[in-house]
């Protein structure tokens, strides 16, 4: 298994290395919806992406992504947040999913959950969506 030392550090926080696993249906859906609003990323192949680490950050949950090849090798930016997904839930939570890349390779899904008073809350295991909107950057 590849160690986290081989992955570009995201910040000064700890995530737990896991046995690499494919994206869940929900995670792949988040990525697909975000990339759908970014024309240069429409053809990104998600099939080889694996989640290699995950864990809590001070305000959200991080999923570290890795693949054998970049999804968009012609992308010019070294590091940036490609887009975000804003989800409203039936129980009045706002879920913000941010997708970042490093040199054309999808690198991280960062999930932040806010309650109706804009306070950060723990990531629930499941929720029922009432709306969803993907935006660039």
Instruction: Tell me: pLDDT of 5 over 60.
Output: no
Q: What is the pLDDT of residues 79-126, one digit of tens each?
A: 789 999 999 999 888 999 999 999 899 999 999 988 877 676 777 878
Instruction: Identify the residue with better confidence: 107 or 42.
Output: 107
pLDDT at residue number 116: 74
2: confidence class by pLDDT, cuts 50, 70, 90: very low
pTM, to two decimals: 0.84
- How, if at all, do strands 61-66 and 50-56 pair? antiparallel
Beta bridge partners of 114: 94, 120
**82 within 8 A of 101, measured Cβ to Cβ:** yes
pLDDT at residue number 28: 95
List the domain boundaries for the chain: 15-136
Q: What is the pLDDT of residues 49-75, one digit of tens each?
A: 999 999 887 778 999 999 999 999 888
Instruction: Identify the residue with better confidence: 118 or 41.
Output: 41
pLDDT at residue number 49: 96
84 half-sphere exposure, CB direction, 13 A CA radius: 13
pLDDT at residue number 97: 96
**74 within 8 A of 95, measured Cβ to Cβ:** no
pLDDT at residue number 13: 60
């Amino acid at each position: 298994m590849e160690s986290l030392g081989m992955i570009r550090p995201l910040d000064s926080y700890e995530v737990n290395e896991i046995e690499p696993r494919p994206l869940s249906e929900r995670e792949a859906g988040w990525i697909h919806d975000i990339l759908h609003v970014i024309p240069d990323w429409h053809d990104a192949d998600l099939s080889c992406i694996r989640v290699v680490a995950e864990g809590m950050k001070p305000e959200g949950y991080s999923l570290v992504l890795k693949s054998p090849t970049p999804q968009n090798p012609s992308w010019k930016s070294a590091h940036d947040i490609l887009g975000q997904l804003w989800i409203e839930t039936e129980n009045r939570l706002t879920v913000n999913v941010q997708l970042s890349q490093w040199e054309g390779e999808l690198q991280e899904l960062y999930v932040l959950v806010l309650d109706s008073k804009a306070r950060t809350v723990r990531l629930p295991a499941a929720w029922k969506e009432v709306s969803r909107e993907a935006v660039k950057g």
